[in-house]
Amino acid sequence: MSKTRWFLGYSLTLLFALDYAVLPAQAATFERVPAGILMRGEIEEGDLERFNRAITNHGLQPLLLSSPGGLVKEALQIAAAARSRGMSTHIPGGVTCASACVLVFAGGIVRSADDTARIGVHMGSGLLFNLDAEALMSELYKKYGAKGATYFASRYEQSAAISMLRQVHFYLSAGVSLRLLEVSAKTEHLEMRWLTPAEARDFNLINVR
C-alpha cells in the first residue's frame, strides 16, 4: 500500500466521517429545438432513460450538446444508444461540452461543432463524486473504521481502470484517436484542457469539416 494510496483513502473516509455530503446535481434535460434534440445540463443516473424517451417523443434528430459533464458510465450508455441509432451530434457555438459530455459527442456517426464551441477534457474522477461512492464509503467506514480507507483506495483504483478501459473501447469503435485520452489523462480532474477546433479534428473527434 503506497503512502499516496493510503492518504487518498484516509482523506476520503475522514470526509465522510465528518458528515461530508456530495450535493446532488440536476439531471440533464432533453428538449426539442429547431435544429434537433438539445441535451442540456449535467449527466446523471437516469439520463439514458430520459434520452430514450426524447427519441420516442420526437423521433431521430441531430443531438445537440450543452453539458459540463457528469457520470462517465451514463454518458457511455447515451453515446452507445445514439451511435446504434445512427444519430449525428453537434456542439453549437458559444456553448460547452466538457468531460463526460465529450463521450456523448463521440457517439455521433457524424460529429460537428461550431468554431466557438468549447470542448474540454480532463482525467475522469472514477468512483468519486457520486451516490455509489458515498454508499461504499459508508459501508467500509462502518465495517472497518479508519482502516476502511485502504479498501476504498483499492476500489477507487479498480473503478478508474475499468472506466478508462471502457472509454478506450468506445473511442476505438467510434474512430476517435486514443491520443485524446492521453491528453485527458495528463489533465488533473479539477482542471480542464480546452481543445482547439484543429485539435478536435486531428483526433477525429470532429469528423466533418
Positive or negative: CA dihedral 153, 130, 62, 35:
negative
Query: In Å, how far from its chain's centre is CA 33?
Result: 24
Cell 441535451 belongs to: 39
The model's pLDDT over 144-158, given as tens digits with 9 standing for 90+, comes to 776 666 766 666 666
Burial of 87 (0-12, 13-18, 19+ CB in 10 A): buried
Dist. CA 74–CA 48, nearest whole Å: 7
Choosing among 3.30.590.10, 3.90.226.10, 3.30.70.20, 3.40.50.970, the CATH entry for 29-125+188-202 is 3.90.226.10
Mean pLDDT of 170-196: 94
Q: Which region holds residue 157: left if phi is over 0, alpha if psi is between -120 and 50, else beta?
A: alpha
pTM of structure: 0.79
| 69-93: pLDDT as tens digits | 999 999 999 999 999 999 999 999 9
Q: Any idea where the domains of the chain sit in the sequence?
A: 29-125+188-202
pLDDT at position 174 over 80:
yes
